[in-house]
Amino acid sequence: EAQVTQNPRYLITVTGKKLTVTCSQNMNHEYMSWYRQDPGLGLRQIYYSMNVEVTDKGDVPEGYKVSRKEKRNFPLILESPSPNQTSLYFCASRLLGAGGRDTQYFGPGTRLTVL
């Protein structure tokens, strides 16, 4: 089954404690992306990657890091989480060049709470 998986699904942590949210896709997609979803603000892009070893900032990259060492994985790293990073996070992947269409698949989401 084609899917994007994220782990963990739920996480409660404290300020300053480094954490990583993993994302993996099994569709051999080149493009992967991280979004955060907040009430009243919708989905905002954090980082994206066009392919292995290629990453770029989205709209709200501050406080986050990513890496793309393998095509299937795109972890999101919070080196020193702060309460304003409490949010619902979505990973997504997409096949590039699909006739210009956005065939983007989203993961199930990770609900992060930073105390």
CB 38 within 8 A of CB 87: yes
Beta-carbon contacts of residue 109 (< 8 Å; ≥ 6 apart): 6, 9, 37, 88, 89, 90
CB of 92 to another protein, least distance (A): 8
Q: Which of 26, 28, 84, 103 binds another protein (CB under 8 A)?
A: 103
Binding flag, residue 92, another protein (CB under 8 A): yes
For another protein, which stretch binds (CB under 8 A), given 13-21, 39-47, 60-68, 77-85? Answer: 39-47
Nearest to 83, CA basis, from 61, 110, 115, 60: 115
Binding flag, residue 109, another protein (CB under 8 A): yes
Residues that bind another protein (CB under 8 A): 4, 31, 40-45, 58, 90, 92, 100-109
